[in-house]
Structure 1
Amino acid sequence: MTTTSPTRRTDPGAMTRSEVRRPASLADAVRELSELGGDGAALAGGTWIMRAPLQDAPVARVYVALDGLVELRGIRTAGGTVEIGAAVTHDELAAFDGPPALAGIVDAARRSAFPAVRSVATVGGNIAAVGFPEADLVPALLAADAAVVVAAPGGERTEELVAYLASRGTRPAGELIVRVVVPAPAGRRSAFERLTVRGGGEYAIASVALTVDLDGAAVSAARIAVGGVEEVARLSPAAAAALVGGPLDDAVAERAGQAAAAECTAREGLDAPGWYRLAVLPALARTAAGALSSPDQQK
C-alpha cells in the first residue's frame, strides 16, 4: 500500500510530496530501506520528522512506515531482562509496571514532552533521532545499561547503546532498531530527574539518570548518565565512582553531580547557557537519588 502526503523541502519555496510505503513485515521494511538508500527513511511516530521544516532539515523522498509491524511492538519480561519494542510509545512505556531497575526509564517516558506527543513518539525514534540532545529516554536507557537489537539486510545483531549513539549519524541504509534490552537484576534501582525552563511538556535543559546496585544499604555498582547538557547524552564514570562504596545520601549524590559536571563540556542554547546546565547537575543528582527510596522502588 502506498500513500502520499505533502511535505516541504529545505528550500521554503519548494513543495513536494513524499511517498509513504507500508511494508507487511520487518524483513520487508529492512529490504525497502536498503534499496532506497539515501532516498528513504523510516517513519514511526513522526514527531521528529514533522519538525524537519522548522529545522531546515531534509525531507525524504520515500518514508517506510513502521507503525503496523508487530515485530516492533510490546514489552516482555524474561530471564532477568526486559525487552522493549522499538515502536512502543512513550505512553505505553510510562504505563509499564516493571521492576525497580526500569523505574528511571518509565519515569522518563512519563515526563517527556506533552501528552499528544507521548501518545505517538516511540522508543526507537527517541534513540535514533540525530540532533536531539534533550531526548529523555536516552540518558535513562544509558544509565540502565541498555542494549539495542538492530535489524539489517544481513540479520539481527545486538549493540551496546553507547556504541550505537556514537555512530548514529552514519548508520547504513536498511538498518532499524527492533527492540531495546534492559537488564533487571534483583537489588537494582533506578531514577530519572529533569529540569525545564517553565514547566512540564518542554524539552529538558539538563537531565540526570542513575542506576545503582545495592548490597544492603551500600552501593556496590552504579551508572550515571547526563542528558541535555552535551549534544549527545553521555555516561559519567567519575560520577558513578563517587557513588560506590557506601550509602547513598544527599551529600554523596551532590558530589556525584559535581563530578558529572566536571566531565561535561556543556552546549550553549537559547533555552539555557552552558554554565547553567552544569550548575544544576548536583541538585538533579540529589533529587534522583532521593527517588530511590520511594515505595515503588522497594518492590
Structure 2
Amino acid sequence: MNPLLTRPRVDVAGTVDEAVDRLAELGPDGAPLAGGTWLMRSPEPVGTFVALHRLAELRTTGADVWGASTTHTALAALPLHPAHRALGRAARLSAFPQVRNVATLGGNLCARGFAEADLTPALLALDATVEVATTAGRHRIDLDGFLRGPGGLLVSAAAPAPANRRSGYARLTVRGGGEYALVSVAVSAELAGGLAAGVRVAVGSVEEQARRVPEAEAALNGTPLDPDAARAAGEAAAAVLSARDDLLAPGWYRLAVLPTVLARAVADLLESP
C-alpha cells in the first residue's frame, strides 16, 4: 500500500514536555501537528502526529515574543513595534485568509524545504532567537542556527525592539496576493541622523533557504535609505545569491527583480511610524 494513502495516528499532547517525549520516542516516524497547512505539500509520510492544539503556552504572545502556534492572522493583528513591522507585514501578505487563519509561526519556520516561507526572512531580519524544547531541557538559539536543523520542539520566537529601529517587508508573486512569493525581502535598520546603521537584510524564496545577505547590508549601512541605495543593495544581493529554478519562475528572473523588491522593502520600512 502507498504509505502516503495510509491514515496516520494522532496523539494529543497535554504539555510541552509530553509532546517532546512522545516525539523523541517516535523518532522519524513522528511529527508535530499544529495548523497542518504544510501537510498538503510535504511528500514525507508520517506514521504518528503529535497534536499541539491543547498547548496554550505555544499560543502566548507578548511585546517581543510570539508562541510557535500563533497563527499568521493573529500575528498580523498584533500592535507591533516599528522594529517588528516586517513580521506583521509578512504574516498579513502571506497566503490566503483561510490559510492564514490556521498556518502558524512554528510551522513556517519548521517546514523543511519550504523556500517561500514568508515569516522566515522577516524574523531573520529582526535578529530573532527561538526557544527550543528537547528531552535535555529548553534552550534559546539564534534563528539561523535553528534553521540548520538542531532538532527539538519550537516553543517561541523573540526579537529585540530598540526604540530607533524599524523594519519593512516586501514580496513579489506571479499574479497577486495569496500566492507563493517569487522573491521576498525583509530589511531592518536603526535610523540616526537620517542615516541607516546596523542594517540587516534577509532574502527569501530565491535560494532553497532564506538567509541574511551581508553584501546588501554593507551597501545600505551609512546611507539615507534612498531608492538609489536600495537598488544598489539589491544588485549586491543578486550578485552573490544562487537563485533556484522552479515552475513559477527561473532563477535569472528572481535575481532580475530582486533589486526592485528590496527597494520596496526599504520603502515599507520608512513608512513605519
- What TM-score comes out, normalization by structure 2 length? 0.97
4+ aligned runs moved over 3 Å, structure 1: none
Unpaired runs of at least 5, structure 2 = none
8 Å CA contact 1:9, 1:58 repeated in 2: no
Q: 1:63 — aligned with what?
A: 49
Alignment length (residue pairs): 273
Identity of aligned residues (%): 50
Which secondary structure does the structure 1 equivalent of 2:6 belong to?
strand
The one of 31, 34, 42 equivalent to 1:41 is 31
> How far 1:8 sits from its partner (Å)?
6.4
> How far 1:156 sits from its partner (Å)?
0.5
Q: 1:4 — aligned with what?
A: none
Q: 2:244 — aligned with what?
A: 267
Unpaired runs of at least 5, structure 1 = 1-6
Q: 1:235 — aligned with what?
A: 212
Q: 1:21 — aligned with what?
A: 11
Higher mean Cα deviation, 214-223 or 229-238? 214-223
Which secondary structure does the structure 2 equivalent of 1:292 belong to?
helix
What are the residue-to-residue correspondences of 1:136-175 with 2, within 5 Å? 136-166=118-148, 168=149, 171-172=150-151, 175=152
> How far 1:51 sits from its partner (Å)?
2.3
- What TM-score comes out, normalization by structure 1 length? 0.89
Q: 2:104 — aligned with what?
A: 122
Q: In the alignment, residue 59 of structure 2 is paired with which amino acid?
A: R
Which secondary structure does the structure 1 equivalent of 2:46 belong to?
coil
Aligned-residue CA RMSD in angstroms?
Answer: 1.3
> How far 1:225 sits from its partner (Å)?
0.5
**TM-superposition CA deviations, 1:102-160 (whole Å, max 9, x none):** 10110000000011100000000000001110000000111110111100001111111
Q: In the alignment, residue 95 of structure 2 is paired with which amino acid?
A: A
**TM-superposition CA deviations, 1:50-97 (whole Å, max 9, x none):** 323xxxx222111000111011012112xxxx0000000000000011
What are the residue-to-residue correspondences of 1:46-125 with 2, within 5 Å? 46-52=36-42, 57-77=43-63, 82-125=64-107
What are the residue-to-residue correspondences of 1:208-227 with 2, within 5 Å? 208-227=185-204
Q: In the alignment, residue 38 of structure 2 is paired with which amino acid?
A: W
- Structure 2: how far apart are the matches of 1:58 and 1:140? 27
Q: 1:250 — aligned with what?
A: 227
Which secondary structure does the structure 1 equivalent of 2:62 belong to?
strand
- Structure 1: how far apart are the matches of 2:187 and 2:40? 31
8 Å CA contact 1:8, 1:59 repeated in 2: no
Q: In the alignment, residue 100 of structure 2 is paired with which amino acid?
A: R
**TM-superposition CA deviations, 1:181-231 (whole Å, max 9, x none):** 111111000000000001111000111110011112111210001000000
8 Å CA contact 1:190, 1:209 repeated in 2: yes
